[in-house]
Each structure stands twice: as structure tokens, then as C-alpha cells.
Structure 1
Amino acid sequence: MITTLPRTFGCALALLASFGLTHAQAADITAAETKAIAEEGYIYGLPIVMNYATMYEYAVDKSSSQYKAPFNHIYNMHKVFSYKDTAIVSPNSDTPYSLMFMDLRSEPIVLSVPTVEKSRYYSVQLIDNSTNNFGYIGSRTTGNEAGDYMLVGPDWKGVTPQGIKKVFRSSTQLPFVIFRTQLYNPADIPNVEKIQSGYAARPLSAYLKQPAPPAAPAIDLPKIDKDLVKTDFFKYVGVVMQLAPATPEETAIRAKLARLGIGAGKDFNFQDLSAEQKAAVVEGMQAGHAKVQDAVNHLGTQVNGWNIVSSGGDAAFYKDDWLKRAAIAQAGIYANDAEEATYPMAKVLSDGTPLDGSKHNYTITFPAGQLPPVNAFWSVTMYDGKSQLLIKNPINRYLINSPMLPDMKKNADGSLTLYVQKDSPGADKESNWLPAPNDLIYMVMRLYWPKTENPSVLPPGKGTWSPPAIVKIN
């Protein structure tokens, strides 16, 4: 989970302007229908536009402070995310990322991974432009041995060459790949860098040492920023539709959007809408946004004040539940499948009182023998409760995770207490300190490769292990 809206969206949704319909279309559809379609279309399109915003900043806009690399090139981060990273909300800060947006239109891409020692967790998450996960390479699924894997677009019909361990098919042409490589401690960075240097991406023609096919035509990827999102939300949805053939589940929603002139190859004349239609669109989008916000607040199962969400999934996992997909994207875009990682999240105490670092200090105590049950590792990460970004703090600590356990202090009974507060709890407790903002608090617990045997957090929120309650101590 790399979680709410990207910074590009800001808080502009309440002021969203409308897209355009021709006069003929406007005459054929009532304001009530316009509102209903705009509401459903916003919910359907939110993950698509969020992903587009990330793609534009990471792979298109070279002037962006968040730019990583062009399409089909892996960008290795030889560090973990910090408060300076703002393109994605609620970023994971305990596995250095390698990132790549791919263009699969002209030919497949072959991903190669090196041998990774068995004690180190790594994963390669494959995500389409609608934020559906369509496959995994890594410790849990394919093991830690070296291998070559092929990623193909929705229309590819070629032959799988020898040497390819598995083929993964994306339903869209510009999928996203997230590599996560476990970091044990700061001194371990050179070892992570060595692994990252072994990640490779090659066009299939280069892998086969054959001539490359003709390049795909250039794509007009419109600029995105918070002001353009206000007016062009559905334009971006239409752009991505051009690169994503409709799945059976999408037929109905795309037909509705087409009634408003939204779809592949369509553009909008914003000035053609009547005042009534404009108001209906804005009202519909605001209603959609409110539904997503409410769904985020009720996502998953409440356990001891933690909201354990069902994490992300593939297209079959979401099916046509666009609200579920939008809520998970807003709560944590690019969330892993639950089997890969499960995420208890906390913004409130068990009684519903908001966590506020400006008013209180808190503790989280894991009883002896009851640390999160995982095959890989676990972490608890702190975010600003409003922006859901990492916070600047005096010890540059954004999380506490299981690799830190040898340096942490346990209580006399063998339990482990984390001190969640804005100021140091004192030198004797600082090893267990998770610095909090001087404001509202949002925490995410990540359980990588959670165990399936008891005790287990799976199924999410209904398992035999539960995260301990957060306790206010003053």
C-alpha cells in the first residue's frame, strides 16, 4: 500500500466543475439522470484518475519533483520514503521501492529478478491502470530464486518463449510495477541496492535478441494538477479507457458514462452545459465523493479501535463493486492482496475518540508471545492524520518494525510497549518511541505475508489474532 487522495487532488472536490455535453446530449438526459451517472462515474473513475496522477508525475512530467523514470525503465529508490515524498499518500517506509510504469502496446516486457536470500522478503506487485492487482512475483508466490517473467497487454496473442517462468496479462496497456525489498536496518542498504541492481526489464525482442517491432504511436497524456482535476476529472477517465478494453463487469458503467459523452476517444466542451446540468454534475460528484469518504470510514472490521481492511485484490475481487475499489484506493492506493499484506489502520481509540498527538500520549502494548503473526515481517507506521503523509520528526523515525526488535526494550513480563507521542518519552524508552504529529494521528500496521495457521489475522478482521488496543495515557 503506497493511501486517501494524492496531493494532486487536494481538497478541491467540493468545488469540482463539470465536464461538457453537446446540446443534443443535454436535451436527451435529465438533471436527475446526470447527477446519478456523475455520482456513479466519479466512484468508478476515482482509482483510475488517482493512478493517472501518479503515472503522470512518475513517468511523464520530467519537471515534477516526483518524476522517477520513463516508461519501461525501473527506478530504484536506495532509501525508504520520508516526509519529503508527497506524490502518494500513506507510503510504505520499510521496504525500499523499485518502481516502473510499463507500456505494453508494441510488445511484452520481460521482468527478471535475481536470487534473493531466503530470509529476506521481497515482492513484485503488478497493478493495472484501474488499481487491480493482476499478479505477484516474489517470496510468497514464486520463491526467492532468480527467474524471468513476461508481462503482456490485453490484446497480446504471441507464443511464450522458452525460459519464461510465467506470463502475467494486464487488462490495461500501461500497468504499474512495485518492487518491495525488505530492509533490515540502515546499514543493510548496500545489500538492498545489490538486489535492486538485479531487477531488470527488457522488451521481449531484446530478451530474444530479435529486431524490435514498430514502436507504438505516441500517446497524448494530458497534464494533470489539482486545478485540472477540478474541471477534467472525466477527461482523464476517458484517456485511460482508450488503453483499457472494457471488462464484462465494466460494460454497464461505461454505457452510462457514454450517455454523458465520457469514454475512449471522447473530449468535452465544458461551456456547452446548461447551468442546471452543471449543477447536477457537481452535485453528483460531490455525492460520490461523500459516499467514498463514508465507505473509507466503514471499510473493513473494527477490532480494538483498528480498522482491519480487506486490502486490495484483482478484478474478480472487486467485480463491479466500484465503491469498494474506490474506498480501498483512497484508504491506501496500490494496496496488496490480503495474502501478501494485511493492513490494520487506526485513527481513533476503541471508543471512537480521534487520536490527537497535540492533546494526548498513547501506548500500544503487544502481550508476550502475541506479536503480529507473519511469515515475513510487520511494521507500524505513523502519518499525519489530515494529509496521511509521513511526518518530519527529530529522530527521522517513521515507523517501528520487527527488524528493530533486537534494539527495543521489552517489559518485565515479556510484553512490548510502543510509545506513541510527539515528544520523546525519555532516553530509557526512546528505542520504543513512534513519533507522532502535533495534530491528528493516522497509523497503519502492515503484516507482510501473514500466517494462515492460527493465530492469524486472516481473513482480515475475522482471524484469531487481533492488534492490541491503543491506550491514552494522559
Structure 2
Amino acid sequence: MKRRFFLTSSTTALISAAALPSGLWAQTTETGLPSGKTSFHPDYVETIAELAYFWGYPMVNMINRSMSLGSAPAPGTLGGVFPVSSPNRIGMLTDYIDPGQRSVACPNQDVVYGLGFQFLDQSPVVVQVPDFGDRFYVYAIYNHRTTQVGQVGAPYNTKPGMYLMVGPDCEGEIPEGMAGLIRWDTNLTMMIPRIFLNDTDEDRAAVQPLVNQVMVYPLQEYTGKMQTTDWTKAPDFPGDDSSGGETKWVMPETFFDQLPDVLDRVPALPGEEGLYAQFHALLEAAENDPEIKQAMINTVARVDAETIPDFLQWRYNGKPAGNNWNRSLNNAEWGLDYYNRVSTSRSNMFDNRPNETQYFYTDVDVDGEPLDGTTT
């Protein structure tokens, strides 16, 4: 069902538009589709279950993060160290991120972070971009596939102002006074502003008025004027686990209960129709036969225990760059690169796209010896 948003006679520049996949399922007929009523060989069940886990891991990850980090009572912080938000809003820090947080691995250490999840099937949202002057900033915005879409930030010479962000099912014209439109191809999105901060008291004071204007809110709260929030007074909520590694966001025991939601909410890219058909058939078979479902769970539990942890080793992320270093590949522009998408989803989810950031990784020195912090 199409959702209408506020109509005016205004016209404005399009800041970005995520191209919607065309012909999804349109060329597929009922003849030749895989069926969940098939008597599947156990090895085939395991193979498709493994593929589903590698393919769907990042998108289930997104759902579970959105239900935790994006569903707080109000925008604020988690355990005093990590930004969280209520739906269709954003939470902002006011200083560098605390290394004690465990919600996201490998954050930058020279920026002020924000974070918010948008549920665009609930409402379009307004995204405020202050006038940052010559200060570097970027709003990294990700669709449900964890692909970065849109061009908001200093690298794109984005004009200050208020932008309307809508999902794939919205139509109409944008309200008067807005600077542009951001259209997404999935309803679940996630935004992470990064605003450069010098490690000085003077720059901390200078950045605060800008940070206070970084806001996201539902369209019905749009007034035509920039709104502000004093983020130093944002509420703090308990719950961040700062005692170990990154929070575990994907559970093999419930993965196949969540996969149908992913298939419904994330349209297949061109060329993925057959993959979706295989997953649907496997889920149908699991619904009809508890033993098949248990075999699927056992398979992905093994993958989660034996393979997924290896993605914390940088040699399994990107491509070799020489001297035992690797560099990112297709970061945040995944397309059909399921391998690097899932490895990054485990190691350092929410990369910036290549024209914004190039990532170089290593766990060892030039001789292959593990880096342990004892030498410099």
C-alpha cells in the first residue's frame, strides 16, 4: 500500500534516490519453482541453511539492533557510553565514543557519533543538517541490507537544511522549506552521523551548537524551522555490557524464525529471485517437518560457533594489500558480495563506502607474528 506524505507545490533538488530493483519475481512462473513439499536430502538442507545464514546474517543483525538500539524510550545513551534512540529519531553523543562500549566494534576515535533507526513504513522522517562550515562530517545512512545509500556530508557538499527521508512506498511532493528528498529502497534504515572533533576543550565547545542541531524526527513534527536538542541533557538508559566482546546480535536458535521477516521486508535484488525461492522452499519444509527445522538450526549453530568467529580475523575481510595487511572490498556497497557483507557484519559493521573511507586491517606484523601491544 502506498503511503502519502505532505503535499505542496514546491519542487526541490533530489539529494539521492535508491534505485528500486525492477522485475522482481516478474519473470518467474509457477513452473519450476522449488517446493517445500520436496523430500529434501539432509545434505541439501544443510547446504541451503548455511547459505541462508551467510546471506541473511547482516539483515537479521539489523533487525535485532533496531529492536534494541533503535527502540529506547527516548533518544539518549546506553550505559552512558553509546547513542540510542526511539523509533524514527536519533541520539547523539557530545564527545568521543567511550572505548568501553560493546554495541559496535571498531568505531572511529576522532568524531562525535550519533545513531538512529528509521522505520519508514511508520512515517517519513525529517533529517536536519546544520551548517558545519569547513568541519568534516558525514551522515552514513544504511538500508536493511547494510548498504550505504544517499550522499549526505562534506564529501558531497550537502547544503544545510532539512531533508525528507521516505521509504519505497511513499509518494507525493515534499513540504515547503525542505532542502531535498532522500528515498530509500527498504523501510528499515539506520543513520550514523560522524562529526569531526579536535581533542581540545575549545573544539568541544565549538562543536556543541552544531551537534545540538543534528536531529531526526517524524514528519508530523516538522515546523519549517531547524529544531535543537541539548544532547548533554539526554537521558541515559541502563543495559550496555562493557565486560566483554561485542554484543551478540544474531542467534542461530531463532534465525529461521526471523528469516521470513527479512524476505518479506527486503526486496530481492535483480538476480536474487532464485535464491529467495530456495529459502522460501526450505522454510516451508521446516514448517512442515520439525526434524528438518532442527537440522537447519543445528547447521547454523555449527556455522555460528566455528566460522562466524573467524571473521574477527582481518585476513578474512577484504583482499590482500601486502605485508600481511588486508584492505576493505565493496565496503558498504555490497550488492551481491555476500561474503564481505557477512564478514564485515561480524567484525566491523557499518563501514563507510569506498569514496569516503578506505580500511586497512591486520592482526600480525610483517613476519606474521600476532600483534599483542607489547611493542611499538
Fold conserved between structures, TM > 0.5: yes
Q: CA deviation at 1:291?
A: 8.4
CA distance in 2, matches of 1:47, 1:236: 12
Aligned counterpart in structure 1 of residue 155 of structure 2, from 137, 140, 145: 140
Determine if the alignment matches structure 1 residue 35 to structure 2 residue 46. Answer: yes
1:302-341 Cα offsets, whole Å, 9 max, x none, are 2344322135233xxx222211211232332100011111
Determine if the alignment matches structure 1 residue 252 to structure 2 residue 274. Answer: yes
Say if 1:78 and 1:96, in contact at 8 Å, map to a contact too.
yes
Tell me which residue corresponds to 1:159.
173
Tell me which residue corresponds to 2:140.
125
With normalisation by structure 2, the TM-score equals: 0.73
Tell me which residue corresponds to 1:301.
320
Determine if the alignment matches structure 1 residue 93 to structure 2 residue 112. Answer: no
Tell me which residue corresponds to 1:231.
253
Q: CA deviation at 1:230?
A: 3.3
Determine if the alignment matches structure 1 residue 337 to structure 2 residue 359. Answer: no
Say if 1:308 and 1:345, in contact at 8 Å, map to a contact too.
yes
Q: CA deviation at 1:294?
A: 7.9
In structure 2, give the amino acid aligned to 1:230. Answer: P
Q: CA deviation at 1:39?
A: 1.4
Say if 1:329 and 1:335, in contact at 8 Å, map to a contact too.
no
Q: Across the two proteins, how many residue pairs are aligned to each other?
A: 314
Aligned counterpart in structure 2 of residue 242 of structure 1, from 264, 272, 275: 264
Say if 2:83 and 2:93, in contact at 8 Å, map to a contact too.
no
Aligned counterpart in structure 1 of residue 95 of structure 2, from 79, 82, 92: 79
Matches within 5 A, 1:413-428: none
CA distance in 2, matches of 1:325, 1:70: 26
Percent identical pairs in the alignment equals: 23
1:352-386 Cα offsets, whole Å, 9 max, x none, are 221122xx412xxxxxxxxxxxxxxxxxxxxxxxx
Q: CA deviation at 1:168?
A: 2.0
Determine if the alignment matches structure 1 residue 59 to structure 2 residue 70. Answer: yes
Determine if the alignment matches structure 1 residue 203 to structure 2 residue 218. Answer: yes
Say if 2:311 and 2:344, in contact at 8 Å, map to a contact too.
no
In structure 1, give the amino acid aligned to 2:257. Answer: K
Say if 1:108 and 1:203, in contact at 8 Å, map to a contact too.
yes
Q: CA deviation at 1:285?
A: 6.1
Over 3 Å counting, the alpha-carbon distance change for 1:229 and 1:191 in structure 2 is same
Structure 1: give runs of 5+ residues left out of the alignment: 1-23, 210-224, 363-474
Tell me which residue corresponds to 2:341.
325
1:50-83 Cα offsets, whole Å, 9 max, x none, are 2233222212366974672211222111122223
Structure with more relative contact order (C-alpha pairs < 8 Å, separation 6 or more):
2
CA distance in 2, matches of 1:43, 1:228: 11
CA distance in 2, matches of 1:196, 1:112: 10
Structure 2: give runs of 5+ residues left out of the alignment: 1-34, 225-246
CA distance in 1, matches of 2:131, 2:47: 52
Say if 2:330 and 2:337, in contact at 8 Å, map to a contact too.
no
With normalisation by structure 1, the TM-score equals: 0.59
Over 3 Å counting, the alpha-carbon distance change for 1:275 and 1:159 in structure 2 is closer
Q: CA deviation at 1:272?
A: 4.3
Tell me which residue corresponds to 1:385.
none
Q: CA deviation at 1:243?
A: 2.9
In structure 2, give the amino acid aligned to 1:83. Answer: P
Q: CA deviation at 1:170?
A: 1.8
Over 3 Å counting, the alpha-carbon distance change for 1:92 and 1:171 in structure 2 is same
3-state secondary structure, aligned to 1:102: strand
